[in-house]
Every structure is written in C-alpha cells, then in structure tokens.
Amino acid sequence: MKLKNGAEYIESLRKVHPRIYYKGKRIEDVTRHPATAPHVRAAAMTYALANQAKYKDLATATSHLTGHTISRFTHIHQNIEDLIKKIKLLRVLGQKTGTCFQRCVGFDGINAAYSVTYEIDQKYKTDYHERFKRWLIGIQDENKMVVGAMTDPKGDRSKTPAQQSDPDQFVHVVERRPDGVVIRGAKLHMTGSVNSHEILVMPTTALDAQSKAYAIVCAIPIDAPGITLIFGRQAGDDRRDQLERIDVGKPRFGAVGGEAVIAFEDVFVPNEKIFMDGETEFAGLLVYRFAAHHRANYGACKTGLMDVLTGAVSYLSQIQGASQGSHVKDKVTEMIHLSETLYSSSIACSAEGKPTPSGAYLVDTMLANVCKHNVTRFHFEVARLAVDIAGGFIATLPSEYDLESEEVGHLVQKYFSGVADIPVKERIKIGRLIEAMTGGTAMVESMHGAGSPQAQRIMILREGRLDEKIKLAKALAGIPGKKRKK
C-alpha cells in the first residue's frame, strides 16, 4: 500500500487540487480548513488502524487480484469471513471516531460494480470487467480513497431520467468521442467527497430503454477539469474555531461524514475508466447490490456511535450523581439492548451472504434492508434516551467563551458543578459531545443514509417471499395448494 498511515493519507490530499466551495468561498486545503479538517482526520483513522497490530486483521486483506496486502476498504469480498470482518471493522471505527469515517460508500460501490461488470461482460462480450479490475488494482496498490457517487438530484420525481425537462437532473453522457465520453449532471449528499482521491460514478435508479445515456458507470479523479464540489453545512459548523473547541462537541472528528454536491460540467472520461455505458437493464442490479452492502453497514458503524453515546451518558450520570437511579440503569440497559440488536442484524446479513456469478460475495439482501430499517428507529430511540438521561442542560450550556471569561467564568464553574472532585469542564465536554451526537446532521444521516425508510420497506415487502409463507399456512391448515384464478 502506497499510503500506509493517516499522515501519508493527509499529505496525499495536499497534492490534489479539487475545486471545492463552502459558504460561497473556495477551500484551498481541506486538511486545514476548519469545516473539512475533522472529516479528513476521521477518514485518516481507516488508514491508522491498518498499522495497529490489534486491528490489522480487520483493517487489511489480501487482494485476490494481486496477492498484495491491501486496505479492506479496497477489497472485493471473497467469502463470508470477509463480510463479517468488514462489519467488525466498522464498529471499531465508529467507536474510535464517534462519526462517519466515509470510505464505506466507495467500498460498497466497488463491490457492486465488480460483480455487475462481470455479468454485463457475460451477456454482451464487453470488456468492462477487465477495465474495472485494472483500475481497481491501481486503487488497491495506491490505497486511494474512493467516493461512491450514486444519488442524483432527480428533478421531477414523477418522471424518468429521460423525461426530465432538465436532462442534467441525472448524470448522463452528452458527447461521445473515439477515446471516451463527456458527462454532465450532479450527485448530491456525497459523503467524503472533498477528501477522496477518485469518484466512482454510478446510476441512482433502475433505468428504462429510453435512458441509455444515463446508464453510465465510470471513475474520475476528484480534481478532473469540470468538477465542482459544494460542501454542505452541518449543525454547529460555525463553532469550529480554535477558541471553542469544547463547544464543537467532537473537535477532532467532526459531526457526520462531510457531505457535498459534486457537479459535473462536461467532464471527459477516457474509455479505460468506463465500466458501464448504455446497458440499462443492469442499472437496477447495480443499485440493488450497492444498497444491500451499504445498508448492512449501518448496524455496525452506528452501533459504534451508540457505544460512545451510551458511555457518554453513563459518565455524565456519574458526574451528576444520578448513576445509581433505577430509571437511569433501566434506560442505559435499553440503549445497550438496542445497540446489540442492530449489531446482530449486521452480523446476520453478512453470515447469510452468498457468492455472485463473479465470485464476489453479497450480503443477504432481505436482512440488510431489515438492518438499515431498524437503524432508522433504534438510533433515534438511543438518542432520545441519551437526551432523557442527560437533562436539559445539554441544550442550554453557556459557551466556552463564558467558561473562560474573567467576568462570568466563576459563575459557570459554580453552577455547572456536580459530584465533588470531577472538574466542571469534564461535565461540559461530555454534555457537548452528547449534544453533537444527538442532534442535527447526525440523526438525519441515520434516517436517510443508504436510502430512506420507505426504500427499505419496499425491498422488505418485495423480498418477503409471501407466496412461500402462504403455502406454509395452507399446509398447516390443510388447505389444498390450488392456484388462484386471475
């Protein structure tokens, strides 16, 4: 691996020059700008763990393409063990950062594209899969971070991509050249995009035959001509300055994943970086497999966050002298129960994984959707319980400026004290951490990341095997298995 640790990863970002804007101004260095630097440090943790003996088995893998030791985030799942190690790694990273570490979307896109390009080649005798493998070997050997770019703006959602009055509402090919294509459009909510090295562009939905121009999968350097990124605002982002480190809540690793808009304005893609081009019938399969892999993640990474949140409210209750209250113990127990239930769901869909025709393994898609759907409920309930235990002070705390003030600092010290011998500053730090982890961007991402709750419900019903369940009921009731007349 060329990029061997977090420091080398951070330094590598200073050698690329993407066009990034935040609050109307251009960011020249994402590794130092207060809005983006925390997200860079969170992603750097994925590199750091690969060098720690305790986690190396989880954080690295052996490439089936080259035999080289690579980051697990660039690996193609070869068996159930790979799927489970991924889940274990994500929980550890959630515990270490308390936030999104951003490499999962690219990781899942790589695995989905690997299997689907194989099947396209089998049908059409194309060479997408070989192209993809050549590109992937470069990503593995360089240990580059890839942003998976899937979600389009969508425009009028009652219309297909080809029916839009503005065709750019979905990324599409606008020009074909002998050596490649030119694409235009945008991708929204792209986690980790401003601190990635390359973009893996994928369709966002199943496509009909009229939408061939939208059936494009390709790889593009993050700083390619024609690409503009607009970094999104997050709750509390104006607190990220040197004077209010406590008020940030998580000063080192930031709020969630650092999402951005990626606009493609006539971006050229060479043939060797094109992995699907017009094969509309495979777009839905790609989205389906990507979504399954990505939804499986949430019961792991979010469990890691919930572990931190459970620890934070438990310590706060000790500071406040409430840790022995029966209601506090009961609520903490429920937080643990919900966390472990989610984690078991991620493990289950991985343990039930099966190989695709390419040999790459895919999680159990039904259980993956159940897993993510539970996240949209359980994480919110854990957050609610945390706020319940913490009390209202996490929403009304004076700022760090007040704590350090010569005029009123002594009042903050006096009236925010708790159990003797525990510094007031620790209570405030933990309170701010709970505030950061239970409000704003963090919870929205849990709801809508990897698809909204309704997307999972659609898949759960679709894969519910109702016909088989009806047969089971009829058999036990002694009802003949006759086919219904249509």
Q: Are 267 and 177 in contact (CB under 8 A)?
A: no
Q: Are 202 and 270 in contact (CB under 8 A)?
A: no
Q: Specify the amino acid at residue 225.
A: P
Backbone angles phi, psi at 155, to 5 degrees: 55, -125
Residue 223 and residue 69: Cα distance in Å, rounded? 27
Q: Specify the amino acid at residue 478.
A: G
Q: Under DSSP, is residue 358 helix (H, G, I), strand (E, B) or coil? A: coil
Annotated catalytic residue within 39, 75, 100, 379:
100
Q: Are 119 and 62 in contact (CB under 8 A)?
A: no
Residue 245 and residue 429: Cα distance in Å, rounded? 9
Q: Which DSSP symbol is given to 378?
A: H
Residue 196 and residue 145: Cα distance in Å, rounded? 5
Annotated catalytic residue within 74, 99, 191, 356:
191
Annotated catalytic residue within 104, 218, 349, 371:
104
Largest pairwise CA distance in the chain: 84
Q: Is 191 a catalytic residue?
A: yes
Residue 204 and residue 210: Cα distance in Å, rounded? 16
Q: Is 36 a catalytic residue?
A: no
Q: Is 281 a catalytic residue?
A: no
Backbone angles phi, psi at 269, to 5 degrees: -125, 120
Block residue for tokens 């777009």: 283
Annotated catalytic residue within 22, 214, 298, 343:
298
Going by their DSSP bridges, the two strands 69-71 and 354-355 should be labelled as: unpaired
Backbone angles phi, psi at 307, to 5 degrees: -60, -45
Calculate the alpha carbon distances from 103 to 69, 245, 390 in Å: 18, 26, 32
Going by their DSSP bridges, the two strands 216-221 and 274-277 should be labelled as: antiparallel
Q: Is 175 a catalytic residue?
A: no
Annotated catalytic residue within 301, 315, 376, 438:
301
Q: Is 349 a catalytic residue?
A: no
Annotated catalytic residue within 22, 117, 198, 259:
259
Q: Are 65 and 133 in contact (CB under 8 A)?
A: yes
- Which helix (H) or strand (E) is 361 found in, with range? strand 361-362
Tokens standing for 158?
């009652």
Q: Is 404 a catalytic residue?
A: no
Q: Are 73 and 46 in contact (CB under 8 A)?
A: yes
Residue 313 and residue 123: Cα distance in Å, rounded? 55
Backbone angles phi, psi at 170, to 5 degrees: -130, 140
Which residues is 22 bridged to in the sheet?
Answer: 25
Calculate the alpha carbon distances from 262 to 49, 151, 229 in Å: 29, 10, 5
Residue 211 and residue 55: Cα distance in Å, rounded? 45
Annotated catalytic residue within 77, 294, 373, 379:
294
Query: Active-site positions?
Result: 100, 104, 191, 259, 294, 298, 301, 445
